Amino acid sequence: MSRVQTITIGPGDGDQRLDRWLKRHFPHLAQGRIEKMCRKGEIRVDGGRVKASTRLEVGQQVRIPPLPEPDAERAAPAAAPKPRVSDADTRLIQDAVLWKDDHIIALNKPPGLPVQGGSKTTRHVDGLSEALRFGLDEKPRLVHRLDKDTSGVLLLARTRAVAQALTAAIRHKQTRKIYWAVVAGVPTPYLGEIRYALVKALGHGSSGEGEKMICVHPRDVDRTEGAKRAHTLYATLYRVAGRASWVALEPITGRTHQLRAHMAEIGHPIIGDGKYGGSGQENLGDGWGAQLGGVISKKLHLHARSMTFEHPVTHKRVTVTAPLPEHMKHTWDTLGWTEDLAADDPFESLQ
């Protein structure tokens, strides 16, 4: 067994998960052992308890408890090998590539495909990205997320340095994301903003699709434990009588389920959103109910249409645009809309 060590996070090692940093420095450590040491408080960062998913920053000090020697760890039963990405999934994820260079890959994530794995999720973008190496040694890294049922632009970085730069840009609101959605009813005013804070509902899962968020009025944020401020811009582009509208959405903050919770809170849930809109209801013209009925798909109608960012290597402004998924294309065709009807920047008058 080794002795207790304290290691300072150096340049180039910041903004990465604790478990990934540990595996780089101690390759023989299994994920289960890392999580157990975190739960028991044996691994600490700047003296505090942490989770395996805690992100490290340059200058922080990590306390490492005595570790078994590599040979002892290897003597334990070997973990099952990671499944190979099937030929069908390889085609699916490679066909989803919208744009790439030596540093970044932009995908049009299919609806229904989770971005990351969980206890019961084995097929996800993070795993399938093994098929997106395209000649590089490193597997592309996720730099942000989309909900499982949301489609559209998803960026992956092809190196650690680019991942750090893009993650920082997103955190500091230096990127721009525009979503398209179909919502029940017609939001008024047609152009506006929503500033309800969000707090996780009790009794729902700790992360991912199990979560449900509750909106909190801005005046109540400071006295609501766990509430986080959230800000969304919306623009109503086209409508079908009073029943439904095509809206553009721009999340200024990036909270879990922000767009879905915000639109439901103002009485215009996104079509197909059972979690926030009441999946069994049809909208009868009063602005409520998350299904339109008839031939309109019951799938979620939320799509990350475009993302604009400064390229961390070339420093050029890049905009990536994703075409609609099939179920939303069908809805557009049914309602007589075409993708080219929307302005490139529907929020120009709000800038």
Judge whether residue 321 has pLDDT over 90.
yes
Three-state DSSP at 304 gives strand
Give DSSP secondary structure letters for 112-153.
T--SS-BTTB---HHHHGGGG-TT-SSPPEE-S---TT-EEE
pLDDT band at 348 (very low <50, low <70, confident <90, very high): confident
Separation of alpha carbons 17 and 56, rounded Å: 6
* Angle (CA) 288 208 283, round 5°: 10
Mean pLDDT on 170-190 = 93
Q: What is the pLDDT of residue 57?
A: 85
Which residues, 6 or more positions from 172, have their beta carbon under 8 angstroms from its beta carbon? none
What pLDDT, on a 0 to 100 scale, did the predictor assign at position 122? 81
Of residues 246 and 78, more confidently modeled: 246
287: pLDDT strictly greater than 50:
no
- Calculate the average pLDDT of the chain: 87
How far apart are alpha carbons 42 and 49 in whole angstroms? 8
List the beta bridge partners of residue 244.
184, 240
Name the residue among 35, 32, 29 with its Cα closest to residue 49: 35
d(CA 115, CA 142): 8
Asked whether the CA dihedral 237, 309, 214, 151 is positive or negative, the reply is positive
Helical (H) or strand (E) element with 258: helix 258-265
Which of these is catalytic: 46, 87, 101, 147?
147
Of 106-115, 120-129, 142-151, 192-201, least confident by mean pLDDT is 120-129
Helix (H) or strand (E) holding 233: strand 232-240
Task: At 55, list the tokens.
Answer: 């992100």
Concerning whether 220 is annotated as a catalytic residue, the answer is no
Cis peptide upstream of residue 251 (ω within 30 degrees of 0): no
Tokens for 288, please give them. Answer: 């409520």
Per-residue pLDDT, 10: 72
Question: What was the pLDDT predicted at 178?
Answer: 97
Predicted pLDDT at 332 = 97
Q: Alpha-carbon distance 3 to 295, whole Å?
A: 66
Helix axes 18-25, 31-39, angle to 10 degrees: 120
177's tokens: 């994301």
Question: Could you read off the pLDDT of 33-81 as tens digits, one per residue?
Answer: 999 999 999 999 999 999 999 988 878 889 999 887 766 445 455 555 5
Q: Does 202 have pLDDT greater than 50?
A: yes
Q: Mean pLDDT throughout 184-204?
A: 89
Quote the percentage of the chain above a pLDDT of 70: 88
Provide DSSP, 262-303.
HHHHTT-PBTT-HHHHTTT-B--SSS--SB--TTS-SS--EE
- DSSP annotation of 228 reads B
